[in-house]
A and B are shown apart, each in its own frame.
Chain A
C-alpha cells in the first residue's frame, strides 16, 4: 500500500475486555515496530518484528500484551484484560531494511485506545 495503515483508528473498550489492534505495513517492508504514545510517558517502544519473528519484545509492558505477524506482512497487537493505564495511542511503523539503518521508519496514524 501507499503507507502504513492501522485499524481501527479509535477504539473504546471496557476495562477487562480484550482488544486487537491491526497494522498493515508498507508492501515489501520486512521490519515492523509497535510503539505506544501516552501522556506523561512519551513514545515507548513495544516490539520489533523482522519478518514473522520478534527478536526484540523487550518493551512489552506486561504479559497481557502480545503481538504476532503473519506472512511477513500484517501484524496484530493484542491486549488482554485491558486496564485504564493501557489507554494510549498505539503507533505502528515499518522499515525496508534489516540493519541499524532499518530504523528509518514510516509510521501509521495510530489507534487511539480508550479504556473506560
Chain B
C-alpha cells in the first residue's frame, strides 16, 4: 500500500518570494513520484517527475523538487513565484500498481 501526505492545504505567498510545498509519502516498494498542477476549471498537468537517477528534478515553469529517500519526501520548490503560479498542486506516487495515489492537494495563492 502507498500513501501521500501534503502537509499544507493552503500556502499564501507574495509575488517574487520563494515557495516550498511539502510532500511526504509511504510505500513498501520503490516508487515513482510526481507533482501535478491544476489551474481553475482545468485538468491536471504534469509539472515534474522522479523515476530514477538524480534526486533533484527540474520541471516546467521553473519548479524543481528533490527526492529524499531517507526522509520519504519529495518537496516542490520555486525560487521566485508569479501571480500565474496560483493553482492547486498535487503530489502523487506510483509503485507496483499502475495507478497514481494522490495527496490531498495544496492551494498556492500568490499575492501581489
A residues engaging B (CB < 8 A)?
4, 31, 33, 35, 42-43, 45, 48, 50, 55-56, 59, 91, 93, 98-110
CA A31 – CA B36 in complex, angstroms? 19
Given contacts A91-B43, A100-B94, contact A105 B102 (CB under 8 A): no
Minimum C-beta distance from B10 to chain A (A): 14
**Among listed B17-25, B44-52, B62-70, interface-contacting one:** B44-52
Are A104 and B43 touching (Cβ within 8 A)?
no
Residues of B with C-beta under 8 A to A48: 98-99
Contact between chains at A56 and B105 (CB < 8 Å): no
**How many of B's residues come within 8 Å of A, CB to CB?**
25
How far apart sit A109 and B42, CA to CA, in the bound complex (Å)?
5
Provide the residues of chain B in CB contact with A42, threshold 8 Å: 102-105
Q: Tell me whether A100 and B96 are in contact in the complex, defined as CB-CB below 8 angstroms, given that A42-B105, A43-B102 are known contacts.
A: yes
How far is it, in angstroms, between the C-alpha of A32 and the C-alpha of B43 when the chains are bound? 15
Closest chain-B Cβ to A86's Cβ sits at a distance in Å of 19
